[in-house]
Chain A
Amino acid sequence: MSAVPYTANAFRAERVKLTTLRSLWVPPLLSVLLTVGATTAVGAILGDKDHSITDDPGIGIFYGLNFGQAALVAFGVLLIGQEFNTRMIDVSLAAVPARGRLYGAKLALGALIGLGVGALGTAGSYAGYAATVPADWHGPAFARAATAGVLYPALLVVFCLGVTALLGNLTAAMGLLTPTVFLLSPLLVGVPGVRRVAQFLPDRAGQYALHYADDPQLAYGHWTGLAIMALWTALAAYGGLRAMRERTK
């Protein structure tokens, strides 16, 4: 018998889990609001004063994503981490014993929501930027940056979900991911010697694809940056799958 209907049911269950729990559906919405809101607010305040958001429109357009991604990290971690912490994972596994199916359904939902957040956040950010900043956001890099703006949130959610599954613990995942993405990674890139390595961190590499201008200090191109993040994401997702299969001690 085909496994397709079972997989579809597993996905449907994950969707219902999301819609029935406020702490799961609020973060993606919050992410869109923060992303669009911060970009628009900064554009309105600094639009004609600060060159950093006009010289490279990408930096100005995706300025809000720096805030919006906080909610995305939380979302990715909570999506599976809440089940570890409440031990509801046992109820989920009793309902969907195929580990790969349960985990895959979560990944698919996370990716889909991430894409939705990316599409809304990117469209809103462009609109907010265009309305407040007197700069040309079209440019040759537009298609690439906009595509990356849709993909980056999805990759980030899946990355965080994978890491959380790998660690099997919500608190540990939050403790690892939050400072890494928001503090260490931007900080390390500022240290000349460490930059050579830190530039390959997933968020650093992925965010480069959002920029319009080239950065000669980086060892890779815009698209390659996104590919590096995708590789990190694939590794995390695979590590999570291994851990889910090993969970049964």
Chain B
Amino acid sequence: MTSDEEGKAAVIKIQGLTKEYDGRRVVDDLSFEVRPGVVTGFLGPNGAGKSTTMRLVLGLDRPTAGHALVGGRPYTELAEPLRQVGALLDAQALHGGRTAQGHLRWLAASNGLPARRVGEVLAQVGLAEAAGRRIRGFSLGMRQRLGVAAALLGDPPVLLLDEPVNGLDPEGIRWIRTLLRELAAEGRAVLVSSHLMTEMAITADHLVVIGRGRLLADAATAEFIDRHGRTRIRVRAVDAAKLAALLGGPGHGLDAVEVDGGAWEVTGAEPERIAALAAANGVVLYEIAVQQDSLEEAFMRMTADSVEYRAEAVA
């Protein structure tokens, strides 16, 4: 990133961030940046340290080592932070006895924000009708929307949302996806965490993947898909033995394995090349199927070693 870009907007910079609880490393020497104008997806399996990282950014936890800066300063030094960073950590962490409006009113007062913002953000998240209702009766989806409203209250250039999709229905998921893209298009820096790879592949321009608190990938989404979404080509031949002799033998430089009933899977080659190779050797193919690994699989593969809790884990 050039210094010119850095001057454009407040940006989150995380350097060597480490957090230990009782000797357990939850966040481990993590470094990455969140840039303005793009949606940065913060991905990792449950327990990977995403929420802790966000808490560290907001100064709610103190790092064991390293630091997180917002616009070049620690969050705790910001006098009116809601004008600079909008955050949604835990949509349940509010008092159910207040109305949606009441909750936003004290937040607005705390940072000297005009009271009209309360109505504006409630309308923006589709809660205008529920403004005067007690939060106690809200569904998780409504609470998420209220949390997003709270994050937008100060019209901040930086947004930090922890699993905002949780509890939303399909319409809500589509809504938040569009909203995040719009917010980024307005030039804001958007950091959104999720454990759903496919959701992030659609929403995020940039991906930061962590596992066991460690950085696993930090790349543009397209680049990440190119690199990790492996293409496999499934082929079958009229004469299975001939195909086996061809692909099973040496000399063709392909990564091929027999999968089932005479079908072979070739990784890392274009279908044209396989067809040409087969033709040159007189093997008649009757199936060439290009199979793109889903991103979910890529994500699982990448984080496989770092998943905290696994069903089949053996002691």
Contact = CB atoms under 8 A, between A and B. Distances in A.
B77 to A, nearest CB: 8
B75 A95 contact: no
B110 A10 contact: yes
Contact of A91 (B55, B102, B105, B150): B150
A86 B106 contact: no
Contact of A248 (B60, B81, B102, B109): B60
Contacts of B59: 93, 97, 248
A16 B106 contact: yes
Contact of A20 (B61, B93, B106, B112): B106
Interface string A91-123: 111111110000000000000000000000000
A249 interface: yes
A62 B94 CA distance: 38
Given A16-B106, A248-B61, A249-B62, A95 B93 contact: no
Nearest to A101: B79
Interface stretch (A1-9, A157-165, A208-216): A1-9
Given A96-B110, A97-B59, A20 B102 contact: yes
A51 interface: no
B231 to A, nearest CB: 44
A95 B94 contact: no
A131 to B, nearest CB: 37
Given A95-B82, A97-B75, A88 B95 contact: yes
Interface in A1-38: 1, 3, 5-6, 9-10, 12-17, 20-23
B78 A23 contact: no
A22 B75 CA distance: 32
A94 B58 contact: yes
Prevailing SS type, chain A contact patch = helix
A212 to B, nearest CB: 42
Interface string B76-118: 1111111000010110111111110011011101111000000
Contact of B94 (A3, A14, A91, A97): A91
Nearest to B147: A91
Contact of B62 (A10, A21, A96, A248): A248
Q: How large is the interface on A (under 10, 10 to 19, 20 to 34, 35 or more residues)?
A: 20 to 34
Nearest to A247: B60
Contact of A9 (B61, B77, B109): B109
Interface in B35-87: 55, 58-62, 75-82, 87
A249 B55 CA distance: 11
A90 interface: yes
A82 interface: yes
Q: Which of B77, B102, B107 gathers the greatest number of chain A CB atoms within 10 Å?
A: B107
Interface of A: 1, 3, 5-6, 9-10, 12-17, 20-23, 82-83, 86-88, 90-98, 248-249
Given A9-B112, A93-B58, A98-B79, 19 more contacts: A6-B80, A6-B112, A12-B109, A14-B106, A16-B109, A86-B93, A86-B95, A87-B92, A87-B93, A90-B89, A90-B93, A93-B60, A94-B82, A94-B87, A94-B89, A95-B81, A96-B110, A97-B59, A249-B21
21 contacts: A9-B80, A9-B110, A9-B111, A13-B106, A20-B103, A21-B97, A23-B97, A87-B92, A90-B55, A90-B60, A90-B90, A93-B60, A94-B58, A94-B81, A94-B82, A95-B82, A95-B107, A97-B81, A248-B60, A248-B61, A248-B62
Interface of B: 21, 55, 58-62, 75-82, 87, 89-90, 92-99, 102-103, 105-107, 109-112, 150
